[in-house]
Amino acid sequence: MSEDGLAQRAREIAAEAVGAVARAAAPEELERLRVTYLGSRSELMAMPRAFRTLAGAEERRVLGQAFNAARTAIEAALDQRARELERSRLADLAETEAIDVTFPGIEPRIGRLHVLTRVQREIETVMERLGYHVEVGPEVETDWYNFEALNLPPGHAVRDMQDTFFFTSSEDLLLRTHTSPMQIRAMERLQPPIYVIVPGRTYRRDASDASHSPQFMQVEALAVDEGLTVGDLKGTVMAFAEGVWGAERRIRFRPNFFPYTEPSFEFDVSCGVCAGRGCRTCAGTGWLETGGCGMVHPNVLRNGGVDPERYTGFAWGLGIERIAMLRYGIDDLRLFYENDLRFLEQF
């Protein structure tokens, strides 16, 4: 065949191929056409062998151009058609691959942390931001740390406020009735200024019912520094309460009595259910009894080895279960320790 004939033939093949490609309906057909027109045994790809025998450089150049144009055109057509086919396939996804998106999710098999752990950690976080650090201590305590060092002399009626478990092994041992023994231990261990928070288990000899448990969790904060005042105590309790309940809640201090603080208070938080207007949760008062607090009694400072002439201190404490109960609307203390998974899995 002459060079003109070959060039002409290349253009014909290209035209035929482009037409076939444009008609192709599936990616597999495109692949087949690629083999047919551009495969190593195709007519087009055989052409370079043919025109290598042609003598003139000019002829080879002309033929080469025709060959390249044909190949490029076919390749471009193949690519374009492939994109078109892919686009039309994706356009159908809504019909071809639809699933029922309202079907329930498959829950990962993951456990949970206990609600008391969560609430305790939250309380700790608020206080840690105020510069306090966590101290923990023994639950099986001596009479000295639990009572006597805290101004609760033996035989005195004030001990009746905290009915106590004792042990068979030693008359001096008991289960701590509050976290306050750690006030003494913290003062012994650390030098003022002291800013600590003490979470932990405590025990009172109560029968178990919806609002009592012989074992419960308390958290207690202690500050010992120069010049601390009732105002500082109030501000700290308010900062704590706002951290735990939010800034819109109010705090009320009522005078009260604890042997280890003077003056002593109970603090109430305004009811979050009724915003202080009075409801069933707060028994109509608008206030929720939350915790006890006061300025550390000079005797207690002295028993902790701190000079009451130089330092003052304040302490406050509350029940962690009570915070959790108010927060989540839990009405029975026993639920925390029963560990019914249907309860635990709500938090």
Partner 1 sequence: MRVSYEWLTDLAGVRDVTPTQVAEVLTMAGFPVDEVRPIDLSGLQVGRVLSQRPHPASRHPLWVHEVDLGDHVRSIVAGAANAVPGSLVAVALPGTTVPDGTVVRDARIAGIPAQGMMCSERELLVSDDHGGIMLLDGGKPGQALEEVLPFDAWLDVEVTPNRPDCLSHLGLARELAAGLGRRLERPFMPAFVDGIEPPGTELIAVEIEAPDLCARYIGAPITGVRVGPSPRWLRRRLFAAGVRPINNVVDVTNYVALEYGQPLHAFDLTRIRGRRIVVRRARPGEELLCLDGQLRRLDSEMLVIADAEAPIAIAGLIGGEESAVSEATTDVLLEAANFDGVSVRATSRALRLRTEASTRFEKGLSPELAQAGARRAAALLAQLAHGRVHLNWADRYPRPQDPVRVRFRPEQVDALLGVHVSLQEMESALRRLDFQVQIQDDGSWDLLPPVYRLDIHIPADVAEEVGRLYGYDKVPATLPGNRRFSWVAPLPSQERRLDGLRHVLAGAGFTEAVTLALVSGALLDRLGVAERAMRVLNPVSDEQDTMRTTLLPSLLQVAALNANRGRPAVSVFEVGRVYLRRADRPQPDEPVRLGALRTGLGSAEAGRTAFLELKGALERALDALVPLQVAYQRDAATLFHPGRCARVVVAGRPVGYLGELHPAVLRDFDLDGRAVGVELDLEPVLALDVPRRACPLPRFPAVHRDLAVVVAEEVEAATLEETIRGAGGELLESALAFDEYRGSQVPEGKKSIAFTMTFRSPERTLTDAEVDARLERLRRVLADRHGATFRA
Pick out residues in 99-138 that bind partner 1 (CB under 8 A).
Answer: 109-114, 116-117, 120-121, 124, 128, 130, 133-134, 136, 138
Smallest distance, partner 1 to C-beta of residue 227, A = 7
Torsion, Cα of 284, 285, 286, 287 (10° steps) = -130
Query: Which listed range, 47-55, 77-85, 274-282, 333-341, lies at the site for partner 1 (CB under 8 A)?
Result: 333-341
Restricting to residues 229-288, name those near partner 1 by CB under 8 A.
229-232, 234-236, 238-239, 252-257, 259, 262-266
Q: Is 32 in the site for partner 1 (CB under 8 A)?
A: no
Task: Please report whether residue 341 would count as binding partner 1 according to CB under 8 A.
Answer: yes
Give every CB contact of residue 186 below 8 A, 6+ residues apart in sequence.
135, 194, 196, 198, 222, 304
Are β-strands 312-319 and 287-296 bridged in parallel, bridged antiparallel, or unpaired?
A: antiparallel
According to CB under 8 A, which one of 38, 69, 126, 173 is a site residue for partner 1? 173
Give the whole-angstrom CA distance, residue 65 versus residue 67.
5
* Rg for the chain, CA atoms, rounded: 42
185 binds partner 1 (CB under 8 A): no
The footprint of partner 1 on this chain (CB under 8 A) covers a number of residues equal to 89
Provide, rounded to whole angstroms, the least separation between the CB of residue 204 and partner 1.
Answer: 10
Eight-state DSSP code of residue 43: H
CB of 103 to partner 1, least distance (A): 23
By the rule CB under 8 A, 211 interacts with partner 1: no
* Residues 238 and 268: beta-carbon distance below 8 Å: no
Q: How far apart are the first and last CA of the chain?
A: 86
Taking the complex as a whole, how short is the minimal distance between the CB of residue 183 and partner 1, in angstroms?
16
Neighbours of 194 (CB within 10 A): 21
Residue in the structure block whose two tokens are 């603080």: 261
Q: Which is nearer to partner 1, 85 or 173 (CB)?
A: 173
Q: Which C-beta is closer to partner 1: that of 166 or that of 328?
A: 166
